[in-house]
Structure 1
Amino acid sequence: MCARVFQAGYFLLAGLLALPVVVFGCSETTNVNTIDTSNLPCSDGEDNDDDGLIDLADPGCFGNPLSGSEAATPECSDGEDNDGDGFIDYGSDFGCGSPEGASEVDLPPECGDGADNDGDTLVDFPNDPGCSSVNDFQEFPDIGCQDGIDNDGDTLIDYGQDPGCASRFDGDETDSPPECNDDIDNDGDGAIDFDGLDIDGDGLIDVPPDKGCANGNDGFEFPDIQCQDGIDNDGDGLTDYGDDPKCSTPLDPDEISGLVVECNDGIDNDEDGFIDFTGLDTDGDGLIDIAPDKGCASGNDTLEFPDIQCQDGIDNDGNGLTDYGEDPKCSTPVDPDEISGLVVECNDGIDNDGDTFIDFTGLDTDGDGLIDIAPDKGCASGGDTLEFPDIQCQDGIDNDGDGLTDYGEDPKCSTPLDPDEISGVVIECNDGIDNDGDGFIDFTGLDTDGDGLIDIAPDKGCASGGDTLEFPDIQCQDGIDNDNNGQTDYGEDPKCSSRLDVDEISGVVVECNDGIDNDGDTLIDFPADLGCSGFNDTFEFPDIQCQDGIDNDGDGLIDYGRDPGCGFPADSDETDTTPECRDGIDNDNDGQTDYPNDFGCSFPDDPREFPNPICSDGIDNDGDMLTDFPDDLQCVSESDPREDI
């Protein structure tokens, strides 16, 4: 039995001198590393820096055989990773106590060195609450925000949970009241808090509320600014955010030079005879005298557009359908071409796939208001571009003889286009079976006797009727307040990160549902803080370009939801990418570039070029000796995706 092999490091001798020690052993180790010093500059017997001095005789080694250099520059300021731990010099490498440190080799972390480094009579992790793990490099004296105690009696403990803790090193857990609820005029504007202030206790407000407060939990009062001061600063008859379109947010300091929202300014900006999203009542009789401008998608649109084919009120292609929303060849309200747009088979009145069914809604052939030809199950909506021939999961037949027919009823159909009703995946949350043996069945529960009442309760492991698996009850879906914080399960307890979170007690704090302004932007939780995409987001983010209320790229569109350059609320760049259909590149490698040359583009701002549709690909796809539009009569246009019907 050989001796245990220890990793090289520093050991205290009699409390006086720290010396490097290397103990070598045989092959029976306890799974720790040994160090071969023969290749180290201060142990290799060579004069590595050509100063005539070798190894420990060289002052550049500072008496340390483990030193990574004989050079006189101390390891902790020589710009090299001398101990190979991925950290370099003082300020990065924990082995360096100062820039003059001779060696980068790490000392043992205080939280695992067996010593009471902070003098609080508690030694190392987990005994010393100043240690978060055995790898913590420092023990700290017990302080209020890291001592594991609810010092202020609000049932919240330490930094990360108690809002009274600004950091782990905060000595006081006591919460500071938010400025909008502290009875103080914090911003010196003569107004106090969200509710104002009753000075004499007579039940009447003596000091008016501060408009800088969005609610009583706001952390900050703001000085009155133009877009929340109750004054029509620009004299346009509109006051503050919500009324004056030049106020982009309640915190907009300028009501005068703000962005003009053309679709709500009472002006015919594009000179097409139509005004704004709602039209205009010119004589105040409550009736619209000038019709709405179809170029406006909402009252917040910054631009009215000149009339173009898909919003001009004209049936430009003579098909009896007019503009976007009615004519399927209009892909958007700003589509300039009502004539050559993509045909939407599920709304064209034609049996495109030859299965005797027509469109998403079916067809009334005699105009009596009754459907004469049944809807085509191959259509998921009236905007579908293709009808599909009947396949098993939409053919109205119980192909596998299980008593369930097609997508929406048979769980083995994953989509309406699933060709196989027989070997599909079983969806446990809709199969009438207690798959996980917890006494609960499916997403909806089960009515066993057909009386219309649920006899077996729903399984909380099912998030929807489409879930493929039931899960046994676990803490974040068991209906029990396991951590006794007054909040139960996922959706209520922020420490549950999902329904499948097994631990309701030590879960991650969900900042977007904790009632705290974690990122200091005066907005709290979802949906008020734009940095939160939902109640279960773990972080609030500081305002960034796609949520800061500023038109950062100067395109007249602001933030996520309006500026196409924003892919998500926390996107830090509003700059738009150029759509493929006007970027000058043959993105789909079909030999044609951009709109209108590439038939895969339906309009200039189409974000994607697609390979040539079948009716313009130069191939006789249906083998009838006729190729593409107009030669193949089955093709109704160059953009038709099928030659065979």
Structure 2
Amino acid sequence: MTRWVLALALLAVGCDDGGGSASPEPDAETRPDMMRRVIVDMAAPDAAPMDDAALADAGPADEGVAVDRGPVSACSDGLDNDRDGRVDFPDDPGCVDAADDDEADPVPRPQCADGLDNDEDGERDLADPDCTGPGDPSESGMNPVTVCHNQLDDDGDGLIDFPFDPGCFAAGHNSEADPSPRPACANGEDDDQNGVADFPADPGCQGAGDEEEAPVDPAPACANGEDDDGSGATDWPDDLGCDGAGDASEVSPCGPGAFVIDLNRHLEANAAYDGDLTGAPANLVASCGGGAGGERVFSYEVREPLDRLVFNTRHPETEAPVVLALRDRCGGADVQCDRGLADDPGVAITLENPPLGRLFVIVDTGSRQQVGRFRLTVDAVRPPACRDGADNDGDGQVDLADPGCTESEDPDEADPDEPPVCANDLDDDGDGRVDWPADPDCVAAGGPEEAPPCGLDIPFVRVGQAGGDFPVGPVQGPGAAAARCEAALGAETVIVLTLSEPSDVDFQVLTPEGAPAQVTLHARQACEDPMSEIGCRTQARLMDNLTLRDLDRGTWYLFAEQGLVAPRAPLVARVVVRSNLGECNDELDNDFDGLVDRDDPGCENGRDPSERDPGMPTECSDGIDNDGNGQIDYPDDAGCEAAGDLFETPPCQGEFFGDVCVVFLSAQCVGGSARQICLDNGGGEVITFAEFQAVVAAGWVRPDASYHTMAVTEYAQCDGGFGNVGIPGWGQFNLFQCGENVNYCNRAVMCVTR
């Protein structure tokens, strides 16, 4: 029996395929279960042989051939199963481990979802404006300015761009409009029940526009509990390289290895950041300088609506010139940039109405010769209480609806003891409309009157600090507010302009086609008082704006006289407001010396851009009666415009002529009231005609080649009191101003002290 079994076994060894002599096809891949390997007998020499019965039970077997122990995995079978030139684990990238039964390489993730900055433009995946969604195969492109990557709040919800706006599911998306219902990562709910809700807290959210909070495995770099970039900070929100917990990279937004200081966190415990640029790393260069040495980089989060944000290094603690730059992306372009000088090393940057979100502040070395310490402060100016969207006094009313608010710029919502006219449930002006907002003459619930803002019976348009274009309906008939520079008799419309900041204003009226209209323009400080006129422009000079310089905070009245015959179509009033807000008129203590604006020795006048104090006190802040008039310093001495004014008495440009000293003579064409011009330039007064004759007689004013006479023709409208036409040497037919007669080309304005 044993011999027959062995014979059968040997016969089996001699068979190739058990099915004939046909050869395999040349390109057929040999199957693993058809392979046989000769195995050397490694059994111990004294191993007990199997008896015949045991051998019979084991079935047929070849001597020296391994027993089949089941299928071998594709990643450990010695074959290139996917024909990519690489065999088994770990050489084949398709193999996870040796037990993996599939060598096929994984399908590569789209570039817009692979966690890499494939085009090396500083933006990764959905944050790249070339990506319209996670399935987009390429990040390469021109980085278009899309709605979700333009740094604008296009839908007016206070949120800007990807990843912060719920309407943006990628930076390349072209609409910020929020979907309905809101996406899972911005709906206020913990959709995946992981204990955190929405962007930026949920690791499943790549942005507020992400439509699912589904858990991610493995966890993204910004939620994996590890300091992936070695910055010393781990995950969101501690690592500033993370926009949210779902961010795939902790790498600093300013580049690998660049350390970013959390300025918000530092200022929670400190009034300022005191740093040193000595030995600082040099990775960035600003648009206005910074190549002289290293820099410190800060991140600042704007978390609430602000009117103004000021980053300031103008402090005594700033020892050497610095470059100060502001960016919305660390590797992007500068939003603003300024640099200090050797004698004024600090600078300040002001951002009006900053958007919510992250800003990067770069303090860089401004000079190779001087490198040292600096101080950085932040002044976040919140909107006034009556414009901040909050119920500050807890009475259930907000902003203009609060009886404590007289206007939007009112800083206090506290209600008065007696209900104001615009919140007393009475029709005080008998026009059939009661209180705010029903009565259009009430600008707020706390408004003091329901009557129109101007006592003159003329139509009006309210305009704020932003200015703009406003329709002016046709009016006709006799006028009620005649200008002083022109005897125009037609009906007027008044623009009631309320300024919240010191400003220059240009006023023009246009036809529906956009051409200047032939109307008389003038302006007053008090609507009913013609003596308060501050500017005037005649119809003949229709191509010129009515320019009003240095208007203070408050309400001003701009009149457009349309003529005796009403225009056939509505006109357009264009009001362009240019804020003059600076450190010496912003009502802030910018240099932290306890003194504000004109009271600060660093301010020579209200338009001085800096409160930084001079090395030595000026005459208007030295405690001495320098001009011997019994008055000392600002504000007591009338010769001082501000505490930093250099002189208590405006210096003479020439000598005394009779009883007057010339303190100002305009060197170029300037608009506005001559009286105001003199007040703004040395605090003098407009010269009288008789005084001007004395100046001419003294030889200080001489004719030039364009004028062959020293004769001065009296300006008839001045009634012999002020002014003349064609003062020699200052331009043909320029009109010397009569007190408040304004907006001629004032090259001949002369100001004196008496």
Question: Looking at CA atoms only, which structure, 1 or 2, has the larger radius of gyration?
Answer: 2
More strand by share: 2
Pick the TM interval, shorter chain.
under 0.3
Q: Normalized against structure 1, the TM-score is what?
A: 0.19
Q: Normalized against structure 2, the TM-score is what?
A: 0.17
